[in-house]
Amino acid sequence: MIEELLKMNINEALKCKDARTLFLYLYYHDGNNLDLVGNKILETGDLRYIHFLLRTFEIKDYKKYIDYILNTSSSASYLYYILYGVDYLDEETRLSIINRIIELNEDRYIIKSMYFYFNYLKQFNNDLYNKIKTIFKDKLDIDINRDDLLSILEELFYKEDYMYDYEGFTENCYKGRKDYIPNIIVCHINNTYGSAIKNFYDKEAEVSAHFVIRRDGYVKQVVSLDDSSWANGTSLREASDIYYRFAKSPLINSIEDNANYYTFSIEHESYDGSLTPKQLESSIEVMKKIIRYVKEKYNYDFIIDRDHIIGHSDVNPIVRTKCPGKMFPYDIIINELKKEFN
């Protein structure tokens, strides 16, 4: 499939009516003819690949895509992840998306979008402030003012963090390693520890990681190192957006199997990949534990470099473009590990 996409020319691409093929054409041709092919994707009305298009390429004329989304989507979740995932939106566009989320009246995504705007972006808009003030009073019986807005949003955003605790390991995993020596650590981020833990112990969610590290440095092990977590899955099907040949990692790209079998996964509570000092310390200690485990279990010296300590976006670049984020401190972690083992 990839070879066919590389050989495809613009005229052949423009005859296509499948949003996925059009997106992958752009992906493998470095965004050449972005406007022409982007318009064709917009014509398909496929919200999944319109989202992928917006967050993968910086599109000058992006407002026509946003207008279509605002007029079409009634999913607060989808709109929030456009807001969170597309870095180059202007203030007016962000406010339009947030106001649409407010109209959809889903408390969880109202709080998420407000946190994104006020706390993460550190922006202030008086009209939006007055709306959130009314919403909090009517829905939560909370009075807010300018001085406590950020602290209240912070508290509500991370409210789930200490609500869930589970004994033992989750059942969301594959038993064993399918005869592989696991030799890659994959780093992830999740906005909140609580939502990660809740999903990892939910059988219907079908996701997990070996470890979750909270902002305060607390570490929860979710899956035994002997087993394969469900965090770094790759597919052998070309029709899948997590097809293994899409991987940026040359190691994963070359192994025709599910990457969960030969990787470890560490989830970090973070919004953009930045880690608190305690969290960074815990992450390094967890990786030391993994490296010692691999040596003891398999008599294998784990290779400490960016080919073997990678991010989710290196495994599944089509669907996980921002995991673990631009701020993730790979270099600091690798340098500290090399001090210990080299």
Nearest to 135 by CA among 149, 119, 154: 149
Residue spans of alpha helices (H) in the chain: 2-7, 10-15, 19-28, 34-44, 47-56, 63-72, 76-85, 91-104, 107-114, 126-135, 149-157, 193-200, 250-253, 277-298, 312-315, 330-341
Find all residues with CB under 8 Å of 294, minimum gap 6, and list them.
181, 182, 183, 300, 302
pLDDT of residue 120: 96
Strands 184-190 and 173-174: unpaired
Q: Are strands 263-269 and 211-213 parallel, antiparallel or unpaired?
A: parallel
Q: How far apart are CA 72 and CA 67, in angstroms?
A: 9
pTM: 0.95
Say which amino acid occupies 316.
Answer: N
Please report, for the chain, the start and end positions of each structural domain, with discontinuous segments joined by +: 173-341
Burial of 47 (0-12, 13-18, 19+ CB in 10 A): middle
Structure tokens at 338: 């090399």
- CB distance 157 to 192 below 8 Å: yes
Mean pLDDT of the chain: 95
Query: Within a 10 A sphere around the Cβ of 134, how many other Cβ atoms?
Result: 11
Query: Residue 212: helix, strand or coil by DSSP?
Result: strand
The CA–CA distances, whole Å, from 270 to 107, 282, 283, 320 equal 21, 14, 12, 15
Mean predicted confidence (pLDDT) in 204-223? 97
Q: Give me 184's structure tokens.
A: 């890659």
Largest CA-CA distance found in the chain, in angstroms, rounded: 62
Q: What is the mean pLDDT of residues 126-146?
A: 93
Q: 339: which 2 tokens?
A: 């001090």
Nearest to 52 by CA among 307, 44, 187, 269: 44
- Which two three-digit tokens encode residue 199? 């999903």
The tens digit of pLDDT for each residue in 41-59 reads: 999 999 999 999 999 999 9
At 8, the pLDDT band (50, 70, 90 cuts) reads confident
pLDDT digits (tens, 9 = 90+) for 241-277: 999 999 999 999 999 999 999 999 999 999 999 999 9
Q: What's the fold here for domain 173-341?
A: Lysozyme-like (3.40.80)
